[in-house]
Amino acid sequence: MTDKEIVQLCLDVSTRERGFRLLVQAYSKKLYWHVRRMVVSHDDADDVVQNCFIKVWKGLPEFRQESKLYTWLYRIASNEAITFINEKYRRSSVALETEGESYSANLKTDPWFDGDAVQVQLQLAIDTLPDKQKQVFIMRYYDELKYEEMEEILGTSTGALKASFHHAVKKIELFLKDNLNQV
């Protein structure tokens, strides 16, 4: 079923429930992985993605189809993840200088993270990126979205997105060079 058909089902009160089920089945994995790469922890991603779909459900009657379905969903998910990360940092009592160590320790004990020391450093490197660069990097590199799609989701020009991605890659490489002997 196409996104357009799903949207039509969602907008009709009599078929809204069926439409939403199809929407969740089509996008829960994609959005989960997008959110997971942003927030890293499985438990956090689980919370964020559920909140995201609750917002989608509540917002469906007002969805005007001015943007494509997946664009709208990614925007909600991405914003939810950023909001969550910022709130988490605000709540955290850990001092900035020990934040990296704490993050690293959490990842090593995370039962749903299998990475080695290098991959922990990689996650740390991504985590050091500013919000916008992190969003751009994850959407482009992991989710493999086109710049045109990202432009619609983030409301940023393709040129600015390319620049953000470039800076993100350079920062990650630099971070790893500084923190690891060999990558």
Binding-residue pattern over the window 112 to 151 for another protein, x denoting contact by CB under 8 A:
xxxxx-xx--x-----------------xx----------
Radius of gyration of the chain (CA): 18
What is the distance between the alpha carbons of residues 111 and 169, in angstroms, rounded to a whole number? 28
Task: Return the ∠ at Cα 104 (arms to 79 and 45), rounded to 5°.
Answer: 30
Pair 74, 56: CB distance under 8 Å: no
Task: Give yes or no for residue 87 binding another protein (CB under 8 A).
Answer: no
Q: Which two tokens stand for residue 93?
A: 């009592």
Buried b (16+ CB within 10 A) or exposed e, 154-169: bebeeeebeebbebbe
Task: Give yes or no for residue 165 binding another protein (CB under 8 A).
Answer: yes
Please pick, from the candidates 75, 128, 176, 179, the single residue that binds another protein as defined by CB under 8 A: 176
Task: Give yes or no for residue 63 binding another protein (CB under 8 A).
Answer: no
Task: Give yes or no for residue 57 binding another protein (CB under 8 A).
Answer: yes
Pair 171, 133: CB distance under 8 Å: yes
Task: Give yes or no for residue 4 binding another protein (CB under 8 A).
Answer: no
Task: Give yes or no for residue 50 binding another protein (CB under 8 A).
Answer: yes
Q: List residues near another protein by CB under 8 A.
A: 17, 20-21, 24-25, 28-29, 32, 36-37, 40, 42, 46, 49-50, 53-54, 57, 112-116, 118-119, 122, 140-141, 162, 165-166, 169, 172-173, 176, 183
